[in-house]
A = this chain, B = another copy of it.
Amino acid sequence: MFYHVKELQYEAKVSRPDPVFAKKLQEVLGGQWGEMSVMMQYLFQGFNCRGNKKYRDLLFDIGTEEIAHIEILATLIARLLDGTPMESQLEAFNYDPALAAVLGGMNPQHAIVSGLGAMPADSVGNRWSADYIVASGNLLADFRANLTAESQGRLQVSRLYEISDDPLVKDTLSFLIARDTAHQNQWIAAIRELENKAQDVVVPTNFPKELQKQEVAYDFYNTSQGQSDANGPWAQGTAPDGRGQFRYIEQPFPYGPVPKLPLAPATVFNTPPKPLTR
């Protein structure tokens, strides 16, 4: 069960209106790697966590914090939208090019749909989708997804930091960047613990190794002409799982034959090689 306090986890102030930056900021609220994604991803992993009390707690701790990040960004966006022109706009396009550029560069839905409020969408207006998240039940696989999300997320906030020149907005972003530093470190720590416990790095660690086609499990196939990557640590030496040696296959070949599919029955009405009769 959840509770809310009215205070924000961190300040969400702005120096002046900036509807164009509001549009961009949507990316880290409702985009593929935004706060809605990490919140939902961590909570679903938490709901589904079976028999691992401390990881379950970890997921709820970070997941619950992310709801607060949604709140911060939504507030920031609403404030950047204050002062958005809502009167006739054609004149601007005729006589005030700078204002016209603002009007052309903002998200029209911020005016028409949300009434100067944040939206559950990304910087080009795609609505948030649960396609963005995963909760597989395998914690190592999922913590890797979490580390990825925090990495992509911090990268995007850093880019936004660079293209902002509002010191108050930058201050809020510097908080989110720091929290992403914390979360990346935390997921890495958790991943290492899981890898150490399983003494393996290949997910799922408990699939019996002898059931995989062992002879191709450490091959590197050079399917793209040129060998610039032939000397990388992915193509030679002991693999990170410590159970095999990488093998660089310069000219990979097919193991299988040319496939031939039988005809479909006439009632499927696929194109027959020759006219069918019934």
- Tell me whether A136 and B115 are in contact in the complex, defined as CB-CB below 8 angstroms, given that A70-B43, A178-B216 are known contacts: yes
Residues of B contacting A254 in the complex (Cβ-Cβ under 8 angstroms): 1, 5, 7-10, 68
Residues of B contacting A137 in the complex (Cβ-Cβ under 8 angstroms): 114-117, 264, 268, 270-271
In the complex the two chains form, is B48's CB within 8 Å of A224's CB? no
Question: How many monomers of this chain does the complex have?
Answer: 6
- The A24-56 residues at the B interface (CB cut-off 8 A) are 24, 27, 30-33, 36, 40, 43-44, 47-56
Residues of B contacting A255 in the complex (Cβ-Cβ under 8 angstroms): 8-11, 175
Distance in angstroms between the alpha carbons of A197 and B189 in the assembled complex: 20
Residues of B contacting A268 in the complex (Cβ-Cβ under 8 angstroms): 86, 111, 115-116, 137, 159, 162
Residue A60 contacts which of B91, B140, B224 (CB distance < 8 angstroms)? B224
In the complex the two chains form, is B224's CB within 8 Å of A61's CB? yes
Residues of B contacting A94 in the complex (Cβ-Cβ under 8 angstroms): 98
Interface string of A205-231 (1 = CB under 8 A from B): 011100111111111111111111101
In the complex the two chains form, is B74's CB within 8 Å of A48's CB? yes
Q: List 14 A-B contacts (CB under 8 A).
A: A2-B68, A3-B64, A3-B225, A48-B118, A61-B222, A61-B229, A64-B223, A115-B264, A148-B148, A152-B203, A163-B267, A178-B217, A193-B233, A204-B269
Residue A126 contacts which of B67, B106, B127, B179 (CB distance < 8 angstroms)? B127
- Tell me whether A184 and B202 are in contact in the complex, defined as CB-CB below 8 angstroms, given that A56-B228, A61-B220 are known contacts: yes
Distance in angstroms between the alpha carbons of A86 and B165 in the assembled complex: 11
Residue A163 contacts which of B49, B87, B162, B271 (CB distance < 8 angstroms)? B87
- Tell me whether A103 and B101 are in contact in the complex, defined as CB-CB below 8 angstroms, given that A54-B232, A264-B50, A264-B115 are known contacts: yes
In the complex the two chains form, is A130's CB within 8 Å of B127's CB? yes
Interface string of A131-166 (1 = CB under 8 A from B): 111111111110011011011101110111111111
Residues of B contacting A190 in the complex (Cβ-Cβ under 8 angstroms): 232-234
In the complex the two chains form, is A118's CB within 8 Å of B185's CB? no
